[in-house]
Amino acid sequence: MTSVIVDYGSGNLHSVEKSFRKMANKLGADNILLTSCPERVANAERIILPGVGAFAACRDSLSRSGLFEAVEHATIRRGVPFLGICVGMQLLATVGLEHGHTPGFDWIPGQVEPVQPNDRKLKIPHMGWNELGPSLHHPLFHGLPPVTDVYFVHSYHFVPKDPAAAIAWTDYSGPIVAAVARDNICGVQFHPEKSQIAGLGIVGNFLSWRP
Amino acid sequence: MLKVRVIPCLDVKDGRIVKGINFVDLTDAGDPVEVARKYDSDGADELCFLDIAASQENRGTILNLASQTAETCFMPLTIGGGIRNNDDVEMLLRAGADKVSFNTAAVANPEVVSTAANRFGNQCIVVAIDAKAVDDGKWEIFTHGGRRSTGIDAIYFAREMERRGAGEILLTGIDTDGTKTGFNLELTRSVSSHVGIPVIASGGVGNLQHLVDGIIKGGASAVLAASIFHFGEHTIKEAKQHMAAAGIPVRIT
């Protein structure tokens, strides 16, 4: 089994790779491969799509490198488990509004909009540790304590058309979708690779997920 | 609810911690990686390394440090010191830093912040501002460890950095830095109320109440401290308990 972390030149993949390697070793499970090769991505047994920076820039470099189609092939045609992290999760949406109007994978209908807390004095980005809620039933959250803080850093958020697509929320003077899921696909707005023990737990859960 | 972050900072020179460290339970208290691991297990929310003698020749040392820390600490790591351009940023991010902090280079040429934010995203660009009170109730930016005056107004500059794509401001009051008399609260409040991005208060923490003041009176989003944690005066946990008792939302691990 090879789990592939898609390298499309987006920011810091190092900590994502480290966290997945650590948990893969612990579980005696998958090989972790960081790659920018579309063929390897298309044939992966598990896909991890990280992403930092702007929606439009991420989408653009995925398309230019041929990785967009490769990810789509593995996830939709072959149905392997998919995890998107931060902008990698936002790319699941129909459209992103950061730096223009950019189409995403459209696997979970919705759009990616600016974070606008009701309390306008709150800072943007939404940066730091915030709590997951209300109840965490998805296998991704298996074994987490009832109160779990994870690390967020983002200025845009995913607003799914169907709120039931959200499997976890957080609050920043208004609701923010923390995670979405559908079939073999899931995505987290926060950074499990920077969320200490809770984050590593989520990484491990994804690696053993059999949707 | 978003938690207020407590960030221990390590001043590093040639791969070793500069300020004396007083952890009795560490075999090598001068090793930044070992201390980082200790802070990690104590529940620090982020870590910050400041390479105080950064130069072209010793760049490898801090890269090694970033890599080793990222190996064992799964939390956000900020690295500052001697960062001048996108090449520096890229090397550090690739090694394992999550954010980099510009200081002198941002003052000399604010454009470096725009280009770095465009390339790597606002979330990983921190701008460190060192400011000192000047005559007419204003604050001026100083560089080179507080020795060189720039004539630039700190609030103007902070707003400019936000406009250029900084994700966060690390604000140090030079007047209070190292004094253990607390943050410069007026400076912190002024900058924080004039920008929409988070401000990390730094410089002068001598006791746990100072951390509380930085948030409640200074309006900071996070607090950074070095000595009170290094010298074993207080643990991160004690700091958070004290802040929680004052009604500040913190992450208790």
**Cα A159 off chain centre by:** 14
**Structure-block tokens of residue B158:** 């902070």
Range of the domain at A10: 2-207
Q: Do A125 and B124 touch (CB under 8 A)?
A: no
Cα–Cα distance, A147 to A158 (Å, whole number): 23
Q: State yes or no: is A142 an active-site residue.
A: no
Instruction: Go through chain A and tell me how many residues it has.
Output: 211
What is the domain partition of chain B in residue ranges? 5-245
* Model pLDDT for residues B233-246, shown as the tens digit of each residue: 899 999 999 999 99
Residue A159 belongs to domain with CATH number: 3.40.50.880
Please give the pLDDT value at position A13.
83
Q: State yes or no: is A69 an active-site residue.
A: no
φ, ψ dihedrals at A50, nearest 5°: -80, -175
Q: Do A130 and B4 touch (CB under 8 A)?
A: no
Instruction: Go through chain B and tell me how many residues it has.
Output: 253
- B77-B42-B64-B76 Cα dihedral, nearest 10 degrees: -10
**Structure-block tokens of residue A161:** 């058309």
Interchain CB contact of A31 with B (< 8 Å)? no
Residue percentage of chain A with pLDDT more than 70: 98
Helix (H) or strand (E) holding B207, with range, is none
Unique residue bearing structure tokens 């080179």: B144
Cα–Cα distance, B221 to B202 (Å, whole number): 11
Using CB atoms, pick whichever of A53, A128, A194 lies closest to residue B3. Answer: A128
- The residues, ordered by sequence, that sit 6+ positions from A175 with a Cβ below 8 Å of its Cβ are A169
Helix (H) or strand (E) holding A98, with range, is none
Please give the pLDDT value at position A51.
85
Q: Tally A–B CB contacts below 8 A.
A: 96
Tally the domains of chain A.
1
- What ipTM was estimated for this complex? 0.93
Rg, Å, chain A Cα set: 16
At A11, the pLDDT band (50, 70, 90 cuts) reads low
| CA nearest to A139, candidates A76, A51, A77, A201 | A201
Using the predicted structure, report yes or no on whether residue B53 has a pLDDT greater than 90: no
Q: Where are the beta strands (DSSP E) in chain A?
A: 2-6, 31-35, 46-49, 82-85, 95-96, 102-103, 110-114, 126-131, 149-154, 156-160, 166-171, 175-182, 185-188
* Model pLDDT for residues B13-34, shown as the tens digit of each residue: 888 888 655 555 565 668 899 9
Residues in B touching A11 (Cβ below 8 Å)? 93, 120-121, 124
| CA nearest to B162, candidates B120, B203, B199 | B199
Of 3.30.70.1250, 1.10.3720.10, 1.10.150.300, 3.20.20.70, the CATH number of B5-245 is: 3.20.20.70
Using the predicted structure, report yes or no on whether residue A10 has a pLDDT greater than 90: no
Cα–Cα distance, B18 to B185 (Å, whole number): 27
* Model pLDDT for residues A50-85, shown as the tens digit of each residue: 988 789 889 999 999 999 999 999 999 999 999 999
Residue ranges in chain A assigned as alpha helix (H) = 14-27, 38-42, 55-64, 67-72, 87-90, 196-207
Using CB atoms, pick whichever of A54, A194, A200 lies closest to residue B76. Answer: A194
